[in-house]
Amino acid sequence: MSPLLDPAVVAEPATAPLSRAMREGSQAAHTEAENSSFMAELTAARVNALGVRDYLLRYREVYRTMEMLGTELGAEPAVAAVVDPALDRLPAIEEDLAYWAEASGVPAPDVFHSPATDAYVAQLLEARTWAPLFVAHHYTRYLGDLSGGQVIGRVLDRELGLAGRGTAFYAFPGIPKPKPYKDGYRARLDALELTPGQQARVVEEVSTAFELNQAVFTELGRDLAGYLR
């Protein structure tokens, strides 16, 4: 029988490369994230200094945890495939936070109330149980930063006349050309030795990562009136 007609072959189509499955599996969630009220206002440069401060406060915890786990789990092949010091965001976030806290006139607290951040950090730590989960979170944030993040950084800089101040989060001096970098990143994802079941689990975790981001935007969106210029 031709392999095309063999029901066993039809029932089990070739697995899509992991990077494609991750992108396709998160397309709808991506559109939702772009359209969340807080992100839409941020992308339109209408969020004030307090709003940017509170956004960065949340992501400081997220990136602190991801970058800590990147070191802690760095010997795991899946983690080693994606971790790169050129991507590290924590120092850039600290720098921006200092700028925006000062601009807002409200110092950045070390401790603050954010159930969405707490839930995000708790989920990130689950990668200690199975390291490839880390890859899903790493992809969701850093590939996003190298994509839409570049657009957001440029808009903020231009519209607010920042002359480079307060936008270190969006600048990757160690990655002058995001496009070939992202291609290489996707090739490394596709080369990971994961069974189809394990790949599906990673793709599922990408959805979770998008939901956790969405929850952060929803939380910020509740205070939107106080965050607009």
Q: Detail the residues annotated as belonging to a binding site for heme b.
A: 23, 30, 139, 186
**End-to-end CA distance of the chain, in Å?**
68
18, 21, 25, 33: residue in contact with ligand HEM (rule CB under 6 A): 33
> 50-64 burial, b for 16+ CB within 10 Å, e for fewer?
bbbbbbbbbbbbbbb
CA distances from residue 159 to 36, 46, 88, 173, 220 in whole angstroms, order as listed:
20, 9, 26, 22, 21
User: Helix, strand, or coil here: 113?
Assistant: coil
Q: Are 34 and 40 in contact (CB under 8 A)?
A: yes
* Total Cβ atoms within 10 A of residue 202: 23
Instruction: State the DSSP H helix or E strand holding residue 214, giving kind and residue range, or none if neither.
Output: helix 196-222
Binding flag, residue 140, ligand HEM (CB under 6 A): yes
How many residues lie near ligand HEM (CB under 6 A)? 17
Binding flag, residue 93, ligand HEM (CB under 6 A): no
* Nearest CB to ligand HEM, comparing residues 34 and 126: 34
Binding flag, residue 30, ligand HEM (CB under 6 A): yes
Binding flag, residue 39, ligand HEM (CB under 6 A): yes
Stretch that binds ligand HEM, among 5-13, 26-34, 51-59, 106-114 (CB under 6 A): 26-34
Per the structure block, which two tokens stand in for 206?
């990408």
* Nearest CB to ligand HEM, comparing residues 48 and 98: 48
Binding flag, residue 227, ligand HEM (CB under 6 A): no
**Interacting positions 167-186 with ligand HEM (CB under 6 A):** 182
Task: By CB under 6 A, name the binding residues for ligand HEM.
Answer: 22-23, 30, 33-34, 39, 43, 139-140, 143-144, 147-148, 151, 182, 210, 213
